[in-house]
A and B are shown apart, each in its own frame.
Chain A
Amino acid sequence: MSTPGSTGATAVSSSGTLSQAPGKQSRNTSLAGFDASAPLLQVTDLNVRFPTEDGLVHAVRGVDYTLRSGEVLGIVGESGSGKSVTSLAVMGLLPGAARVTGSVKYRGQELLGQNDRSLSRVRGKGVSMIFQDPMTSLDPVYKIGAQIQETLRVHDRSLSSKAAEARAVDLLELVGIPNAAERVHSYPHEFSGGMRQRVVIAIAMANQPEVIIADEPTTALDVTVQAQILEVLQTALSETGAAMVMITHDLGVVAGIADRVLVMYAGRPVEIGSVEDIYYEPRMPYTLGLLGSLPRVDSSTRERLTPITGSPPSLLNMPPGCPFAPRCPLHIAECDEAEPERFQVGPGHTAACIRTEQVAGAHGDAAEVFSETAEDSVLAADAMPADLATAEGGRDAAAPATPPGDQIEPGAGVPGGTGSLVSSPTSPTNGDRA
């Protein structure tokens, strides 16, 4: 068991940058009964299905990842991509109706299928969680001090209430709550959203967990408060030495905090890589499109955004083939045959796409791949002239083929037109053939 009050002495730094905390201390105190040498958190082929009136909704379809000690893994994706369900499954917090298969191992021990009692030993101590909405994740009828103390005493029965309260005050100070000694006696409604999220973080780090799962921890907050909370999270990580899974839809937040990034689409990881791989050399068209559709606050050139057309597929009765294919500008017939595995595209970098080479040619510039008139091109794709379609289908393996949308719809008035194709460096005569 940990020594009470061991972390409380350190004051919170109130200023400074969001740079990575230097040298997160490694810990050797794993939970009793767990193998400290086994991987921290290993998720293998995780599937979650929800029975509904319309059929089974396959919300998570084979998630694999390994969380290493001290690292921050960012999970990004749009709403409905399954990123939250994944983390709830890891914590065993899904409703009973959910059908969860696969494996979630914490320090070598399987968590899936365990009963609530044994999971309670792990929750908060081995793996703790920070939820999105600080307005609903605290109990409104208990003082916040009592809620922190409960977390402490659940995992350390020998802790006196006095020691627990002292530790609660220390924790509140650590997360930057002023007058912590008085504020432990406040109720959640007396706190603002940002302050409540600090309390939730204090609870999450109370027992020195090895893993903190943060599910959209700043989404409900304003930017200036978000900056404060991200800093508190960094403090929490360096204090506890924990590894973190950071789930968010905000690509800016992930860029600042994550070491590795997992991009989810339609319930599956479609690209995993280091933060630099994902942002500067994405290989999955979806990742590229996501980055291209972001307006940039640090750019004064107001280039047109490159939206991804269409919407994510329904997770009910998914058709075979790549789930991104209907929205993908690089879509070819082969994409509809089978859902692609994640291929190795670099050291520690995998992407679920059979045309990653074409994406590589864009070097992170979404406009190269995603046509500006993509909306029209999707509609026009059906009316693709037969000769072009066959020409393309026949040579896709050899030379990179032109994205079908662009060939059909050069786009009236679009600068670049056919010239901006990914294939233009390798097959400059392609346009003439059309």
Chain B
Amino acid sequence: MSTAITEHASGGVTGHGEPILSVRGLEKHFPIKGGGLIKRTVGAVRAVDGVDLDLYPGEVLGLVGESGCGKSTLGRAILNLQPATAGSVVFQGRELVGLDRKAMRPLRRDIQLVFQDPYASLNPRLPVFDIVAEPLVIHGLTKDDKELRARVRELVETVGLNPEHTNRYPADFSGGQRQRIGIARALALQPKVLVLDEPVSALDVSIQAGVINLLEDLKSELDLSYLFIAHDLSVVRHISDRVAVMYLGRIIEVADQETLFSRPAHPYTQALLSAIPLPDPRRERARQRIIISGDVPSPANPPSGCRFRTRCQKFANVLSDGQRELCMTVDPALEDRGTGHLNACHYAETQSIL
């Protein structure tokens, strides 16, 4: 991997050293089968369609986008839970794409996933002790029962739960507590990278704050790196060092947290930020809102040229016909267009939204 590429996907931020996880040109397409007796592939849902990302040691990279933009699929493709169609994922110098389950298993110790729904991701028939102990048993990391008990106790305490309660079942816990159990399980193997797929979206705000604080503490205590996938930009701003915005299977803007939220350059990022209601009546009512029309186009048949042009307020209201030609024919690459960070808009201009 050349240093040029590393800088390319880092969002213009240097000084991180080598990335711990490096994604290049990753694609995940789901075939669409036709009707009829013989199922032929008639097309593909291009859920992830050429993504470049770097995750550096000790950082939190936020990945945001609306539902259907491919952010969860990207997370799963990176973990090789769904084999990628094309591209490469390099974790600490090892290529993950193409590895089979057996070859992946030792690597799973280092990259773990925390799921969105704490009600569906824990086996209801296992007591909490068994849930947290399972990864340790599978990987044979504890030599005897005593060590296993001590380790589980330690993990449960780490996530702020009472170790006396590990003989209870998931049903006995609230949503926030269950998410803590899921985090304890993910931490059991002492991973270096956690992929968090909407870890707090199913929780009420008062509970969510506690889990966010826990994740922040764990990150610094255990020296973790997070790929934090979420649709809630307030949460992402709060926890992330850098943020990548995804639209229709592509990253359309990457920057450090401060730059992305105060000087976004891509019209989609601008619209996204402007759409978030602020819990502050005076500011909220004084805002000028950019409202983009329509819904996300089908990833089975993305628009030609720039994928956002069908909803872009700049394309519709600002650009001349000559300028629009470029949007319709040329797919904009993710590059620095003089704003100091990467974005994928031919006519990128920073604008303060919040």
Which A residues are closer than 8 A to B by beta carbons?
14-20, 78-79, 192-195, 222-228, 230-231, 249-256, 275-276, 279-280, 289-298, 300, 302, 304-309, 311, 375
B151 adjacent to chain A (CB < 8 Å)? no
Residues of A within 8 A of B285 (CB): 17-20, 255-256
B146 adjacent to chain A (CB < 8 Å)? no
Chain B residues 281 to 325 lying within 8 A of chain A, measured CB to CB, are 281-285, 287-289, 291-293, 295-296
Complexed CA–CA distance, A15 and B213 (Å)? 38
A selection of 18 A-B contacts at a CB cut-off of 8 Å is A18-B289, A79-B204, A194-B295, A222-B231, A222-B296, A223-B276, A224-B66, A252-B277, A253-B277, A256-B277, A293-B206, A297-B273, A300-B257, A305-B212, A306-B209, A311-B174, A311-B207, A375-B210
Residues of A within 8 A of B295 (CB): 192-195, 225
Q: What would 19 more interface pairs be, CB under 8 Å, given A295-B209, A308-B206?
A: A17-B285, A222-B66, A222-B231, A223-B272, A223-B275, A231-B289, A231-B291, A249-B205, A251-B279, A252-B276, A279-B280, A293-B205, A293-B209, A295-B235, A296-B237, A297-B354, A300-B261, A304-B213, A305-B209
Taking a contact as CB atoms closer than 8 A, the residue among A227, A231, A252 that contacts B279 in the complex is A252
Which of B257, B275, B282 has the most A CB atoms < 10 Å from its CB? Answer: B275
Chain B residues 194 to 217 lying within 8 A of chain A, measured CB to CB, are 204-210, 212-213, 216
Complexed CA–CA distance, A20 and B206 (Å)? 29
Which of B209, B262, B272, B296 has the most A CB atoms < 10 Å from its CB? Answer: B209
Shortest CB-to-CB span from B297 to chain A, Å, is 10
B277 and A255 contacting across the interface, CB-CB below 8 Å: yes
B258 adjacent to chain A (CB < 8 Å)? yes
Complexed CA–CA distance, A14 and B238 (Å)? 32
Residues of A within 8 A of B237 (CB): 295-297, 302
Chain B residues 236 to 285 lying within 8 A of chain A, measured CB to CB, are 237-239, 257-258, 261-262, 271-285
Complexed CA–CA distance, A227 and B231 (Å)? 15
B176 adjacent to chain A (CB < 8 Å)? yes
**Does more than half of chain B's interface fall in helix, strand or loop, or is it mixed?**
helix
Complexed CA–CA distance, A252 and B283 (Å)? 11
How many inter-chain residue pairs (CB < 8 Å) link A and B?
A: 151
Complexed CA–CA distance, A222 and B295 (Å)? 9
Complexed CA–CA distance, A252 and B160 (Å)? 29
B289 and A307 contacting across the interface, CB-CB below 8 Å: no
Beta-carbon nearest neighbor of A220 in chain B: B67
B278 and A279 contacting across the interface, CB-CB below 8 Å: no
Shortest CB-to-CB span from B165 to chain A, Å, is 13
* Number of residues of chain B lying within 8 A (CB) of chain A: 51
Shortest CB-to-CB span from B271 to chain A, Å, is 6
Complexed CA–CA distance, A337 and B101 (Å)? 60
Residues of B within 8 A of A295 (CB): 209, 212, 234-235, 237-239
Residues of B within 8 A of A252 (CB): 276-279, 284
Shortest CB-to-CB span from B335 to chain A, Å, is 25
A297 and B204 contacting across the interface, CB-CB below 8 Å: no
Shortest CB-to-CB span from A106 to chain B, Å, is 28
Complexed CA–CA distance, A305 and B200 (Å)? 14
Complexed CA–CA distance, A78 and B261 (Å)? 28
Residues of B within 8 A of A294 (CB): 205, 209, 234, 279
| For the complex of A and B, 6 pairs with smallest distance between CB atoms | A252-B277, A293-B209, A307-B210, A307-B209, A295-B238, A305-B209
With contacts A20-B285, A255-B278 taken as known, whether A224 is within 8 angstroms of B160 at the C-beta atoms is: no
Residues of B within 8 A of A309 (CB): 210
B278 and A298 contacting across the interface, CB-CB below 8 Å: yes
Shortest CB-to-CB span from A260 to chain B, Å, is 11
Shortest CB-to-CB span from B99 to chain A, Å, is 34
Shortest CB-to-CB span from B67 to chain A, Å, is 6
Complexed CA–CA distance, A155 and B55 (Å)? 60
Beta-carbon nearest neighbor of B202 in chain A: A79
Residues of A within 8 A of B233 (CB): 223, 297
Residues of B within 8 A of A251 (CB): 205, 279
Complexed CA–CA distance, A293 and B272 (Å)? 22
With contacts A252-B284, A300-B258 taken as known, whether A290 is within 8 angstroms of B205 at the C-beta atoms is: yes
B205 and A296 contacting across the interface, CB-CB below 8 Å: no
B209 and A222 contacting across the interface, CB-CB below 8 Å: no
Shortest CB-to-CB span from A173 to chain B, Å, is 15
Residues of B within 8 A of A231 (CB): 289, 291
A375 and B293 contacting across the interface, CB-CB below 8 Å: no
Chain B residues 119 to 135 lying within 8 A of chain A, measured CB to CB, are none
Complexed CA–CA distance, A305 and B217 (Å)? 12
Shortest CB-to-CB span from B275 to chain A, Å, is 4
A256 and B284 contacting across the interface, CB-CB below 8 Å: yes
Complexed CA–CA distance, A309 and B213 (Å)? 12
A293 and B208 contacting across the interface, CB-CB below 8 Å: yes
Residues of A within 8 A of B273 (CB): 297
Shortest CB-to-CB span from B160 to chain A, Å, is 6
With contacts A252-B278, A295-B238 taken as known, whether A224 is within 8 angstroms of B206 at the C-beta atoms is: no
Residues of B within 8 A of A14 (CB): 291, 293
B66 and A255 contacting across the interface, CB-CB below 8 Å: no
With contacts A194-B295, A251-B279 taken as known, whether A224 is within 8 angstroms of B272 at the C-beta atoms is: yes
